[in-house]
Chains A and B, each alone.
Chain A
Amino acid sequence: MIYFEIFLAFLIPGILGYGGGPASIPLVEREVVDTYGWMTTGEFAETLALGNALPGPILTKMGAYIGYETAGVLGSVVAVAASVLPSLLVMVVLASLLYKLKGTNKFKTLTSLIRPVIAILMAMIVVDFLTNSIEVSGYYHTAFLIVASFILLQIIKLHPAFVILFGLIYGALFIR
């Protein structure tokens, strides 16, 4: 049953992947290419490259496309639901439980100790992006774009939409 296979192929990466959608992509590749053979490694890499060029969460974009290619619109819906819903359901339950403690000292300790950890996890993504950008665009473009977007976002307080647009246009014109 193809829908059940699609469900499993996206359920497992959603449960095992840690650190957001992008972290689950290699697990999706294993299911889609190795386990079920719906795509070759090359096709998967090409799909991923296009997915990365477009906005929006990557795991759901991949799910939607691969599900559609494999079993039409319904396949697409199954893939997206399988990757999103299980962790979301657990999140709603867990968050509601923890929020019962709100206002207590336990909750205060919990949140103040967790914040530095989350800050480190985000700082790690920042470092990844920095290395990636230097690799792809070089030092000068990277340094210029960082300084320019910092000024536009934090000092001029331009809406992020315009700053993102600026990055896209700059990239299209000057980064080859």
Chain B
Amino acid sequence: MHWQIFKAFLRIGLLGFGGGPSSIPLVKLEVVDKYKWMTNEEFQDVLAIANVLPGPIITKVAGYITYQLKGWLGVINSLVAMILPTAVLMTVLLALFTGFKDLDWVQGMSAGVVPVVLVMLAVLTFEFLQTAKSAMTWKFLIPFTLGMLFILEFLNIHPAIVIIIIIVLSLLQKDKKEETS
């Protein structure tokens, strides 16, 4: 298991261009599709909770998943696998080649990978809406999503506040009431 955790998060770290949040589709690929450590719904829940809290997303997601699997040793394993290789690479490159990032092909590479990551994120976004759809009707989901979009993007309400309000309202809900879903 530890070896699998190491391999999974090593791959995520080495393939994740564009910072942590862009690597989330890769985490889903390893954790849900490949190793089946959790279901897609559980993964989406973890991601939702990670979005409530400040700080880096990917380390929170990786840390929590591996904590569930193997406790704190699993956490250390996944974080080291994901962070260490490229952190060392970065330090070495900066120490050895100062002009590295000015090379045309290096800049071309980092530009070329952006649309690929974009497509992966768009697919994940679509999956989120699909799962949301399975728990409610389009009639509710579409206006709700548009309403949330308005609140977040045009009223500029902080996402953490929106998520906290949803959590509080859900917790206040009476448990015996039958949900019509």
Chain A residues within CB distance 8 Å of chain B: 14-22, 24, 46-47, 49-61, 63-65, 68, 76, 80, 83-84, 86-88, 90-92, 94-95, 98, 101, 104-126, 129-130, 132-133, 136-137, 141-142, 145-146, 149-150, 153-154, 160-161, 163-164, 166-176
Q: Is the CB of A57 within 8 A of B118?
A: no
B23 and A57: CB pair below 8 A? yes
Apart from A14-B54, A116-B148, A164-B113, what are 5 other A-B pairs with CB-CB below 8 Å? A55-B86, A57-B16, A107-B170, A118-B51, A154-B123
Residue numbers in B under 8 Å from A132 (CB-CB): 114
Interface residues of B, dominant DSSP: helix
Complex contact A167–B113 (CB within 8 A):
yes
Bin chain B's interface residue count: 35 or more
- A57 and B104 form a contact (CB under 8 A): no
> For window 92-121 of chain B, which residues contact chain A by CB distance below 8 Å?
93-94, 100-101, 104-121
Contacts of A153 in B (CB 8 A): 119-120, 123
Give Cα A89–Cα B144 distance, bound, in whole angstroms: 32
Interface of B toward A, CB cutoff 8 Å: 11, 13-26, 29, 41, 44-60, 63-64, 67, 75, 79, 82-83, 85-91, 93-94, 100-101, 104-125, 128-129, 131-132, 135-136, 141, 144-145, 148-149, 152-153, 158-160, 162-163, 166-167, 169-171, 173, 175, 177, 179, 181
- Are A149 and B116 in contact (CB-based, < 8 A)? yes
Residue of A nearest to B106 (CB): A53
CB distance from A89 to the nearest CB of B (A): 9
Closest to B83 in A: A60
Using known A-B contacts A59-B20, A118-B44, determine if residue A105 contacts B177 with beta carbons closer than 8 Å: yes
Given A91-B49, A91-B50; A174-B119 close (CB under 8 Å): no
The A interface is mostly helix, strand or loop, or mixed, namely helix
Q: How many inter-chain residue pairs (CB < 8 Å) link A and B?
A: 332
Complex CA distance for A164 and B171, rounded to whole angstroms: 41
Which chain A residue shows the least CB distance to B101? A50
Check if B59 sits within 8 Å of A122, measured CB to CB: no
Let me know if A172 and B108 touch, CB within 8 A. Answer: yes
Pick the residue among A60, A149, A161 that contacts B56 (CB under 8 A). Answer: A60
